[in-house]
Amino acid sequence: DQQVKQNSPSLSVQEGRISILNCDYTNSMFDYFLWYKKYPAEGPTFLISISSIKDKNEDGRFTVFLNKSAKHLSLHIVPSQPGDSAVYFCAASHTGNQFYFGTGTSLTVIP
Amino acid sequence: EAGVAQSPRYKIIEKRQSVAFWCNPISGHATLYWYQQILGQGPKLLIQFQNNGVVDDSQLPKDRFSAERLKGVDSTLKIQPAKLEDSAVYLCASSLYGAVSTEAFFGQGTRLTVV
């Protein structure tokens, strides 16, 4: 059962524009969410997180929004840069136990 | 700070053979995870250790997969015997805390191909 879903396998954005990556989850018990970034032949690296007590968390060019009623979170990258081209995974957990990952969205930022 | 080290990077074996993967987590990290990532899918947790004890192994196919973390540091994951569907990247990750949600640091992974 896929408890975390990323319905867009790929996304292309012009450099300087906003990239919006979406993630939906089904388990209302999830209370902690993370975004990971993955380059080819490397392991995922942590990007940004948000707990369920917040609806927004910002770190530089990266902002994560959480809509608990819709069971939806999104990652905004502004402005997008060519170096942001990678696969982005969202992950969710309940009380820090097992993290469930989505299938990933491949972002391409076009110079 | 040294990252999570995994070896080997790549492994090709025939079905029904055995294989073992090794992971050295970041120094001081109490929690260690093994994930399986099949092509086109997100990582799936196989087993989670807190020091040298198992916290969660509910998705580990115990008839063929085993893992240990002796002395609460390094860990090995073994598959015996391997099946074609075990072809995947095996990721090891570690984190500083156990029960508290926090980021996990991943190694580069071992790409296993079973032929």
Q: Chain A contact for B41, CB < 8 A?
A: yes
B108 touching A (Cβ < 8 Å):
yes
**Residue A99's pLDDT band (cuts 50, 70, 90):** confident
Min Cα–Cα distance to chain A from B44, Å: 7
Contact list, A91 vs chain B (CB under 8 Å): 42
- Report whether pLDDT(B46) > 70: yes
pLDDT tens digits, residue range A14-73?
999 999 999 999 999 999 999 999 998 889 999 999 999 999 999 999 999 999 999 999
**Spatial CA neighbour of B29 closest among B4, B58, B60, B47:** B4
> For residue B7, which of B106, B110, B114, B113 has the smallest C-alpha distance?
B110
Residue B64 clears pLDDT 60, i.e. is over it: yes
Q: What is the pLDDT of residue B26?
A: 92
**Which residue carries 């942590």 as its tokens?**
A46
Buried (b) or exposed (e) across B42-77, using 16+ Cβ within 10 A?
bbbbbbbbbeeeebebeebeeeebbbebeeebebeb
What is the length of chain A? 111
Position B99 confidence tier, pLDDT thresholds 50, 70, 90: very low
Confidence category of residue A96, pLDDT binned at 50, 70, 90: low
**Under DSSP, is residue B72 helix (H, G, I), strand (E, B) or coil?**
helix
Distance between CA atoms of residues A58 and A75, nearest Å:
10
CB-CB under 8 Å, A32 with B42: no
Residue in A closest to B40 by C-alpha: A103
Looking at residue B15, what is its pLDDT? 96
Please, what is the average pLDDT of chain A?
Answer: 94
CB A108 within 8 A of CB A8: no
- Min Cα–Cα distance to chain B from A111, Å: 26
- Whether B104 sits inside 8 A of A99 (CB atoms) is yes
